[in-house]
Copies of this chain bind each other. A is one copy, B any other.
Amino acid sequence: MSWNTFGRVLRFTTWGESHGPAIGAVVDDCPPGIALSEEEIQPFLDARKPGQNKFTTQRKEPDAVRILSGVFEGKTTGTPISLLIENTDQRSKDYSEIARTYRPGHADYAYDAKYGLRDYRGGGRSSARETAMRVAAGAVARKVIDEVSIFAYVAEIGGDRIDPANFDREEIARNPFWCPDPQAAKRWEALVDEARKAGSSLGAVVECVAEGVPAGWGAPVYAKLDSDLAAGMMSINAVKGVEIGDGFEAARLTGEQNADPMRPSLNEEGNDGPRFEANHAGGIAGGISTGQPVTCRVAFKPTSSILTPVESVTRDGEATEVRTKGRHDPCVGIRGTPVVEAMMALVLADHKLLHRAQCG
């Protein structure tokens, strides 16, 4: 069963293949009366866009988004918002080899096993090109949750982590790695360039923080905020792990170490709810936001497209070797960063509406 819709109340559906005429998304249930234009969506797509520097794939796609419905006189009408991007850089090339060979680490064999056929041009539906539409839909979601501020960054490439002591949020947009630590960014330049030249690839860890999420979003027990975040993040191409708050590190702590103590917080009107003294929980308890920043970490595997030959088989069951010659990202986690932000925005916007459906 094909399932190309994400979300419970604010839902979006994506469609399109890497090398088809276009890709698109339909965002349903956006509240009415929100100012929205193509110009507001485009910058998020530009941030994800390939070919911007030597650290990402040289494939060139302008990724110019068009709004085809749901916006009238500059405002959302409450009806479905159709977003479309034409595919322009579909190099005509010979796909006969890829058509009959299963690329290890790609979805080629799995698609064939499921469907009996596949659109083999550039990965078809399994291409990370689909994530462009998440970014576009995410830009709409951000408008729904203007009380929330979201930022993501790369925290680790090829096992080389940032130093939290060097964390500078302003730095994130200043280097091609979405790296908040200027020293790590410098190291990664050499690291990623080396991988690129060697035709190799590197994994990465992306962290994402959402500030301003009020207490009370999320829901017991199968629409927990963390559960929906896990689903959203794990659905991104190349993602193999998701953590909320301390994640796996929490499994190594004692109850005392993992506690998030609360202190009274008073504002001028009196009791302002608890003030937390730590955030091991990542801003979520029992699946519901606590008012602290919502934090998650996402692991991207190294892309399987590498220059070194890997043993494989053909559709017909013959032994072969696969070696990627095309244009590819040495570290897909970098371009995954805006996608992680988008999924955070989409999950939170959905839960804002979920919450007010039940609780008014």
The answer to whether A251 and B355 have CB atoms under 8 Å apart is: no
Q: A280 CA to B311 CA in the complex, in Å?
A: 15
The answer to whether A3 and B219 have CB atoms under 8 Å apart is: yes
Counting contact residues on chain A (CB < 8 A from B), the size range is 35 or more
* Least CB distance, A240 to chain B, in whole angstroms: 5
CB-defined A-B contacts under 8 Å, sample of 30: A1-B355, A3-B221, A4-B221, A15-B68, A15-B70, A20-B69, A24-B24, A31-B360, A33-B117, A77-B119, A79-B220, A105-B260, A109-B215, A109-B290, A113-B288, A116-B359, A158-B252, A201-B255, A229-B234, A231-B231, A240-B281, A241-B241, A241-B244, A243-B299, A250-B301, A251-B301, A259-B304, A264-B317, A270-B317, A273-B317
Whether A222 touches B357, Cβ cut-off 8 Å, given contacts A252-B203, A299-B250, is: no
The answer to whether B3 and A357 have CB atoms under 8 Å apart is: no
Q: A55 CA to B266 CA in the complex, in Å?
A: 41
Whether A247 touches B254, Cβ cut-off 8 Å, given contacts A109-B285, A262-B102, is: no
State the main secondary structure of chain A at its contact with B.
mixed
The answer to whether A26 and B13 have CB atoms under 8 Å apart is: yes
Q: A20-B69, A22-B69, A126-B287 are in contact. List 16 more A-B contacts (CB 8 A).
A: A1-B219, A1-B357, A3-B354, A4-B28, A16-B82, A17-B79, A24-B82, A72-B117, A73-B117, A77-B124, A114-B215, A201-B255, A240-B245, A255-B306, A256-B310, A258-B301
Whether A31 touches B359, Cβ cut-off 8 Å, given contacts A109-B273, A231-B230, is: yes
Contact residues, A290-338 vs B (CB, 8 A)? 290-291, 299-306, 308, 310-313, 316-319, 333
